[in-house]
Amino acid sequence: MKKILILILLIIFTCGCAFHKKESEPMNQSKIDVLPLMSSESIYNNRVWVGTFQLVWNDLMDEVVKGDIEFLGGTPDVVKALNKQEFKASDLSENSYYKTWGKASPELKNIIVKGIKEKFNETSDIINSIDWTPAPSKYIIYAMLKKDFKFLHAFDKLEPAQFGYIDTKVDYFGIKPQNNDILGQNIGVLFYENKNDFAVKLYTQGNDIVYLYRTDEDKTFDKTYTDMLSKAEKYEGRKWFGDKDYFKVPDIKLYQEKSFNEVCNKAIKGTDFMIDKALETVDFKMNNEGVKLKSEAVIVTKLTSVGPGHVIEPRYFNYTSTFYLFLQEKDKNQPYYAMRVDDVLTFNNTAKK
């Protein structure tokens, strides 16, 4: 009887583990993680980084706090990394972003609304979710990053096909054999090791380059980008796209909004405030014609809450499968956007209709 009971418990445990695995794997597959840094780690297969949040963090440091952001009671590693300002406005052309900051007020909201309309003919997805009522130590730091560019020539639309292990077909674009001579001009080969390890860059009509890197490696964006460039530098094979080469990549559509709660509600040393909200949005589309990207970020501060018996002093010190995508301007040293695509459908289902 005892042996039978042990056997039953073993079966229950084994089934439970199998069930847990099946439950956890789709979670990692279906969620899209929006990261604060290119060096951020993530357990999720699909992930995105864009430099917009770093822009507002830089202005919080440089214009408001006048130094590094440090929290009373301990500063998280993500904040220390953001303080390094490894992405700056200088990594973008001036016509690619809008940013401003100031004390909360309806007037500041109007300035932002007018600014993004005049510069990009855009409206904000998040500005109406913010309380603009003035209050002590309430600052609002805002940025929008906007890109809209075409490839040298529009690629061919290809037949829908499977991506990865998902049976549902997705839309693809690329080059049909009869158009290799013309559309091959869109492509520069970085390296080709084998059918699962290769990278290309796509040329555009403007100052932007699209890098596409197919790999089974799963590393942070900064390490992946460095690996890609290192392989390209060492590659001694043919760097041009030949008339017998093939190219296809899925259409990508994405919309995400992320709140970076890990940096909120902790008193900032040297100030009388803390971060109340830290938001970023990503609206990305890539098809046979080109790329459109709109990203917003905002940081809202609030007065530090003070317990009973305390007084605030004037100086209070407180590709057909998983691939990566990077966007970078030609004359800059690092990307302004990164994406790891493991499930195209998950991305496309988030897009605005």
What is the per-residue pLDDT across 12-50, written as a single tens digit (0 to 9) for each? Answer: 444 444 333 333 344 565 699 999 999 999 999 999 999
Helices (H) and strands (E) in the chain, counts: 7, 15
Cα separation, 196 vs 216, whole angstroms: 7
The ranges of the chain with pLDDT < 50 are 1-26, 307-318
pLDDT of residue 213: 95
Residue 37 tokens, joined: 């840094």
Cα separation, 100 vs 131, whole angstroms: 17
Please tell us whether the domain made up of 150-250 is placed in CATH 2.30.39. Answer: yes
Measured in whole angstroms, the distance separating CA 198 from the mean position of its chain's CA atoms is 22
Measured in whole angstroms, the distance separating CA 91 from the mean position of its chain's CA atoms is 15
Could you state, in order of their start, the residue ranges of all structural domains in the chain? 34-147+255-305+314-318, 150-250
pLDDT tens for 102-136 read: 999 999 999 999 999 999 999 999 999 999 999 99
Long-range contact list for 260-267, CB < 8 A, 24+ apart?
260/36, 260/53, 262/76, 262/78, 263/36, 263/76, 263/78, 263/79, 263/82, 266/71, 266/72, 266/73, 267/71, 267/72, 267/73, 267/304, 267/318
Residue 149 tokens, joined: 């560019």
What Å distances lie between residue 254 and 29, 122, 194, 285, CA to CA? 15, 18, 29, 6
Beta strands in the chain (DSSP E): 32-35, 46-50, 97-103, 139-150, 156-163, 166-174, 187-194, 197-203, 208-214, 248-250, 252-259, 273-286, 290-303, 323-329, 337-341
Instruction: Say what the pTM is.
Output: 0.81
Inter-residue contact 333 to 17 (CB < 8 Å): no
pLDDT of residue 353: 75
Map tokens 């390209």 to a residue.
232
